[in-house]
Amino acid sequence: MIKAHIVPQSDNVMVHGNGAALGSCLHAEELQAEGKFKAVSISAILLTPTHLDGSHFSSNDTSIVYICNLRDIRGEFDPRKAKACGLKKGRKLGQLQNGISVKSDLLDIELSNCSRLSFCLILVHPDDAIGPPIPGPIILIVDCPTEPHAQELLSAQTLNAYYSDSESNSPETTKVVNCIIHLSPATVVSSQVYEKWMRKFRSAQHIMARTTRKHETTPILESSARIATRLNYLCPQLFPAPSLLSVQNDDVAAPNFKGSISKVCGISAENLLKFTLRPPRRLGLDRSSVQNQMTSSVFVKKLLSDIPEIADAAKNISTFWHKPKEDEVELYGINGADSAVRNLKCIWISHIHADHHVGLARILALRRDLLKGVPHEPMLVIGPEQVGEFLKDYKKLEDLDMLFLDCRSTTVAKWDEMEADAMFDKDHQMSSEGMNDESRDHTMLTSLSEDSSLLRCSKRMKPSTPVDDVAEAFQESSQ
């Protein structure tokens, strides 16, 4: 986890979208997001690679690079310079610090004391008493899933202003990037194209988030790891130890991977690793929250030394009978959890709560990736209308391979109404067999165009739409 410390303010956060794809600049609509942080600009660069034959990838293969830039900090006010320009203590000093030019209190000051010769006898400008601003820190979040994306990243003209080795940029005009978070797999990061791009940022701190999957076996919450380890000690047949949740490392780096990363000062990401952005004196990595390697012997020793008469949170619930379910990750492990996600057919969201639906998109995206290239049916998601709107907006960013059904359409009365409509349409279709082919085709096209979407089930839903298949699947799953 990378945590950014930003000074809270009451103003809105300005989010600007612009991208560069295929050598052209794409300007997205400017957005505003309400928040408590001030003047954080976020730019998005779209990476859409091309095949060797010149054809484009599909829109689902578009990757995004985010540029996060904090507002510059105003320079330090120097009272001695203000006094030299003829200002006395009072409200004028406050106005000058707020960027307002003020009149000098003295008329006999020397011209050499002011930088603006033509106005020094009348006005004192903020630049005369305030030092240069401190540039705001810049971080990049880079996701290059394939080498063609890396090639497109290297040729993106929008990033030229951030390159330290660019001949067109002077040290004064170059925007210094402080941190780059790499979400790219190790096979891409170790490529020559990607390494060449990384070398363009000489002073940036590179954090590699996907070069290894060892961190997935490290528990994030100590309390959860403690309970799992103790249960494993008591009954290892039912509760595997956290350290035994092995992960198949499919992100194997090239032989020269370690050497390449060391040359550009890259480090592997860890759970609870922080990169502090503000205040400037604390700019950089912070490992204070990174947990030390936890061993099972420590938890077991604490278990055996506990006094039974002293209650704790775990003992308070120990009197309840708990039957482990097959959908619990403690029984599956990480690889087993992937298999469980592949076999998902339907998800029901009862009501809107952040802990119920926020992670839904991540599960759908994981299932899409796990079943890529394998024939399968889209995931059926049933929930309130607000969940459908949430997924509809999220699908603008990436395809989730799902169909949504409003839960209001799953009542018995609604199903009976749909069946009645289906019977009516069937009788109507039989009565229209005498129509000519052209009229019949026109009628079928018209009926299919009347809201065949699963986002809202209407009374005129036709039997030829996917709703019948969804209803059948839902009834089978509920039995």
Domain stops at, among 322, 342, 367: 322
Tell whether 143 and 190 lie within a shared domain: yes
Domain stops at, among 418, 436, 458: 418
Tell whether 51 and 96 lie within a shared domain: no
pTM: 0.53
Tell whether 389 and 312 lie within a shared domain: no
pLDDT beneath 50, residues of the chain: 1-37, 108-112, 117-120, 244-260, 262, 307, 309, 315-322, 440, 442-468, 470-471, 473-474, 477-478
What is the tally of structural domains in the chain? 4
Instruction: Output Rg (C-alpha) for the chain, integer angstroms.
Output: 31
Tell whether 342 and 411 lie within a shared domain: yes
Q: Return the residue matching tokens 């590179």.
A: 206
DSSP string of 98-124, one letter each residue? TT--EE-S-S---GGG-S-TTTTTTEE
Tell whether 158 and 66 lie within a shared domain: yes
Tell whether 51 and 154 lie within a shared domain: yes
Check residue 404 and give its pLDDT.
Answer: 93
| Domain contains 256 | no
Check residue 402 and give its pLDDT.
Answer: 92
- State the alpha helices, DSSP H only, in 220-307: 222-234, 257-263, 296-305
Tell whether 69 and 145 lie within a shared domain: yes
For residue 102, the Cα-to-chain-centroid distance in whole angstroms is 46
| Domain contains 198 | yes
Provide φ and ψ at 344, rounded to 5°.
Answer: -65, 135
| Domain contains 387 | yes
| Domain contains 305 | yes
Q: What is the 3-state secondary structure (H, E, C) of 350-408?
A: CCCCHHHHCCHHHHHHHHHHHCCCCCCCCEEEEECHHHHHHHHHHCCCCCCCEEEEEHH
Q: Check residue 281 and report its DSSP letter.
A: G
Tell whether 54 and 181 lie within a shared domain: yes
For residue 283, the Cα-to-chain-centroid distance in whole angstroms is 22
Domain stops at, among 393, 418, 443: 418
Position 240, amino acid:
P
- Whats the size of the chain, residue-wise? 479
| Domain contains 237 | yes
At 415 the three-state DSSP class reads helix
Position 140, amino acid:
L
Tell whether 185 and 302 lie within a shared domain: no
Enclosing domain of residue 81: 76-108+120-130
| Domain contains 13 | no
140: tokens are 């990049």
**pLDDT per residue over 140-184, tens digit each?**
999 988 888 999 999 888 888 888 876 666 666 778 899 999 998
| Domain contains 35 | yes
DSSP string of 35-56, one letter each residue? -SB-SEEEEEEEE--B-TTSPB
289: tokens are 């929250």
Tell whether 406 and 388 lie within a shared domain: yes
399: tokens are 């395809």
Please answer whether residues 409 and 432 qualify as being in contact, where contact means their C-beta atoms are separated by less than 8 angstroms: no
CA distances to 151, 236, 268, 293, 333 from 243, in Å: 38, 12, 20, 11, 10
**pLDDT per residue over 1-50, tens digit each?**
333 333 333 333 333 333 333 222 333 333 333 344 467 888 898 888 87
| Domain contains 304 | yes
Tell whether 69 and 185 lie within a shared domain: yes
Tell whether 126 and 139 lie within a shared domain: no
Check residue 201 and give its pLDDT.
Answer: 87
